[in-house]
Amino acid sequence: MSRKLPLAGGETARTACARGLLRTGVEEKTGEVLPAGVLVERVGWAADLASGMVAALLTEHWNAADVDMLAGGEDAGGRKLPSNAWMALRRLGWTASPAEGIRVNDRVVRMAQETAGRTLRSAKWRADLTSGVLAAWPADPARRTAQEWDAAREAVPGGQFLPSSVINSRTRQIAAFATKHGRMPVDVFEVEAAPRTARMLLLSACDGQQATIERADDPGRALLRLQLPTRPDPQSYADWTWVACPISLPPTIPANAVVHLPTLRIHRGRVRADLAYSHVVPKTRPSGHTVALGVDWGLNTLLSAGAARLHDDGAITALGSGGMFRAAGVLAKQHRLRRLSEHLHTKADHYQRLTGGTEHHHLTGRHAVLDEEIRHVSDRRSNLNDALAWAAARWAVDQAITAGASVIYVEDLRSMEARGMGRTINTRMSQVVRGRIVDRMRHLAAEAGIAVVTVPARGTSKHCPQCLAPLRHRKAPDRPTTPGWKWARCGSCGWQGDRDQGAWQRIAARGLAHQTKTVVDRASGTMVVRAVVDTMEADAVVVATPKTSRTDRSKTGPTRPRTNHLMPRRREVPSPVRPSGRAGQRPEGHAPTDRQRLPRAAHRHQSVTTISTPTTGHRPRGAALGAGFHLHAHAAPPRWAEPVSDLTVRIGSLS
């Protein structure tokens, strides 16, 4: 099977990953069917052999000299190291071997070396970051001055575009070490111990002598063949046998995609397979865009998005009024789970102090129950965050596809920190999974050939989208004198609207004006506009669309006939001959009784509106606003096109 994809003009190969499951296997030599439990046991034996060698390699080479040599890309003789981690480790002479008396295939050793090499290479960035922070250590670690910030960014590689939260977290880690030991650490390898070894089989480092995978005639099936031990301590190669495992491919893997060897891991008594596959997608471009989607972040309104068009004369206009993805109910549930987790952790720490680590204490059983409950709550939080990230990203990409946009501009909030807004708001802002949403957005947008570019966020909510003048923020449009942050009004051009609505217009206009400054980050491979250019920012204004005057009563179409009969309008079709539903025959009327009830808020127009917060009387709950994700997330439908003329046929009375 060929591993190369035929590409046409404007296409590129993209590698993605999907989750699979190994439910059973067949031992090829004897034809014996291995149930799920036996398959989990044999895969676990192989993973234990590989993870043991990985731990030995990491413990031996977890130091600055070895990491620098591996990340430098050259061996002691000045020769360039191979790109594959296992080949680089063998060039350097860093070998691994199982315990005495255990016989493993050389491909198992290769998997261990590949895993250890990737881990050691990834430690180089943390080592350079820690060295830079130590070199520019501030007088007060809790609060850096402007000069100390500049010195820290100069000392750290790539510190000019590094989020401030990363430097602050590394500073807190070093300060905790100094408080505990009474001295400053030398490097990151003194602050952090060797990472824990993952219990997995990295089959991508092997060849056909250890594992193969082929797609079946059925597009949704594949066959994985690999060698597994028949005992936890194989004494010879005879203790390794070939096992054929059928895999059901997820529907997200296209029928023409090339499937690569997966990574196997044990998770909750099952063998999970991370299936890598390559397929053809449209190629994205950093510039040359005419229609763009701007996405703004919020707290209760998680996403606000709308499309803008760049015309030939350089003018930028907004396409419609945009939409919102509200997730107040989901975020409130996440906040409740976080408080519950903190409460359980407090009780577990108290039990730990009372038991003193003894196994025969009468509170040990309760401590074990609390640990299990903590794990359960953590899984719920992780699943909720993952579902929210996928739902928000899917909504944003669908908005771009509907608008015909070729790029999505998202404001870069990596350096944003929740400060000065109160303990509750600060915590809620810190818990929002913005980074995960952007990652999912890039994954889904690449399938449609849509680029995702981050732009600087400074000033997007502060200035008017039509004249770039500073905005005045108020509580609501019907309370123009009450200070607030939701409603924005421009004193220069008279524009007013929702704060988030103006922000997505500013983001889309800034991205279209600066698209020639889009670069690809070498470290992450993402597209980004790093800085705002004043001359280009002056052109990043949204031209106001002319509004029809209310005094203009010129006809734009045929006048809809009206009836003077004070009676309900009736159908212009004959009554049904026989009952059409379970409610029986209804001879007249315009509201059939056999229609199923629509889902809640499926017919509701969820446009961009803002009202003042009610202080008395009934206060609506966020969960009752509409139907959507978990009945707590509500997405506005796209409204890009201009409203069409009313083509309703004549509806009147039969009398």
pLDDT tens digit sequence for 226-254: 999 999 999 999 999 999 999 999 988 98
Closest CA to 458 of 404, 395, 537, 521: 537
Confidence of residue 568 (pLDDT cuts 50, 70, 90): low
Confidence of residue 628 (pLDDT cuts 50, 70, 90): very low
pLDDT for the residue numbered 157: 86
Of residues 623 and 476, the one with the higher pLDDT is: 476
Give me the count of residues in the chain. Answer: 655
pLDDT tens digit sequence for 493-516: 888 888 888 999 999 999 999 999
- Give the E-state strand segments of 354-420 in sequence order: 407-412
pLDDT tens digit sequence for 430-449: 555 777 889 899 999 999 99
Print the SS3 string covering 141-177: CCCCCHHHHHHHHHHCCCHHHCCHHHHHHHHHHHHHH
The dotted CATH code for 291-326+384-537 is: 3.30.420.10
pLDDT for the residue numbered 356: 83
Alpha helix stretches (DSSP H) within 404-496: 423-431, 434-447
Q: How far is CA 634 from CA 297, 300, 605, 622, in A?
A: 15, 11, 11, 9
| Residue 135: φ, ψ to 5° | -70, -30
Average pLDDT, the chain: 82
DSSP single-letter state for residue 542:
B
CB 50 within 8 A of CB 110: no
pLDDT for the residue numbered 654: 35
Confidence of residue 634 (pLDDT cuts 50, 70, 90): low
pLDDT for the residue numbered 578: 56
Given the DSSP bridges, would you call strands 270-282 and 258-259 parallel, antiparallel or unpaired? antiparallel
Confidence of residue 600 (pLDDT cuts 50, 70, 90): very low
What's the rounded Cα separation, in Å, for the pair 286 and 315?
20
pLDDT for the residue numbered 575: 52
pLDDT for the residue numbered 210: 93
- DSSP, residue by residue, 459-474: TTTTB-TTT-PBEEEE
What's the rounded Cα separation, in Å, for the pair 210 and 225?
8
pLDDT for the residue numbered 218: 86
Whether the predicted pLDDT of 535 surpasses 80:
yes
Confidence of residue 644 (pLDDT cuts 50, 70, 90): very low
pLDDT for the residue numbered 647: 41
Segments making up each domain of the chain, as ranges: 14-47+200-282, 50-191, 291-326+384-537
pLDDT for the residue numbered 452: 95
Whether the predicted pLDDT of 334 surpasses 60:
yes
Q: Mean pLDDT lowest for which of 191-195, 241-245, 480-484?
A: 480-484
Mean pLDDT throughout 539-564?
Answer: 73
Cβ-based neighbour number of residue 218 at 10 Å: 11
Contact partners, residue 390, CB within 8 Å, separation at least 6: 440
Cβ-based neighbour number of residue 75 at 10 Å: 15
pLDDT for the residue numbered 615: 52
Query: What is the chain's Cα-based Rg?
Result: 31
Give the tokens for residue 594: 């056999």
- Is the whole-model pTM more than 0.85? no
pLDDT tens digit sequence for 275-316: 999 999 999 999 999 999 999 987 668 899 999 999 999 999
What's the rounded Cα separation, in Å, for the pair 308 and 502?
12
Give the tokens for residue 654: 């039969």
Mean pLDDT throughout 125-135?
Answer: 93
Burial of 477 (C-beta count, 10 Å sphere; 0-12/13-18/19+):
middle
Q: What angle do CA 284, 286, 288 make, to 5 degrees?
A: 95
| Residue 367: φ, ψ to 5° | -65, -40
Closest CA to 116 of 57, 73, 49: 57
Closest CA to 507 of 368, 618, 408, 645: 408
pLDDT tens digit sequence for 144-182: 998 999 999 999 988 877 778 789 889 999 999 999 999
Whether the predicted pLDDT of 75 surpasses 70:
yes
Contact partners, residue 156, CB within 8 Å, separation at least 6: 128, 129, 132, 133, 162, 167
Given the DSSP bridges, would you call strands 263-267 and 270-282 parallel, antiparallel or unpaired? antiparallel
pLDDT tens digit sequence for 394-443: 999 999 999 999 999 998 876 555 454 455 545 544 555 777 889 899 99
What's the rounded Cα separation, in Å, for the pair 350 and 363?
10
What percent of the chain stands above pLDDT 70?
A: 81
Given the DSSP bridges, would you call strands 291-297 and 407-412 parallel, antiparallel or unpaired? parallel
What's the rounded Cα separation, in Å, for the pair 458 and 448?
29
Confidence of residue 371 (pLDDT cuts 50, 70, 90): very high
pLDDT for the residue numbered 201: 94
Closest CA to 294 of 512, 109, 130: 512
Given the DSSP bridges, would you call strands 527-528 and 25-27 parallel, antiparallel or unpaired? unpaired
Burial of 476 (C-beta count, 10 Å sphere; 0-12/13-18/19+):
middle
Mean pLDDT throughout 568-587?
Answer: 53
Confidence of residue 202 (pLDDT cuts 50, 70, 90): very high
Give the tokens for residue 152: 């820290």
pLDDT for the residue numbered 133: 93
DSSP single-letter state for residue 569:
-
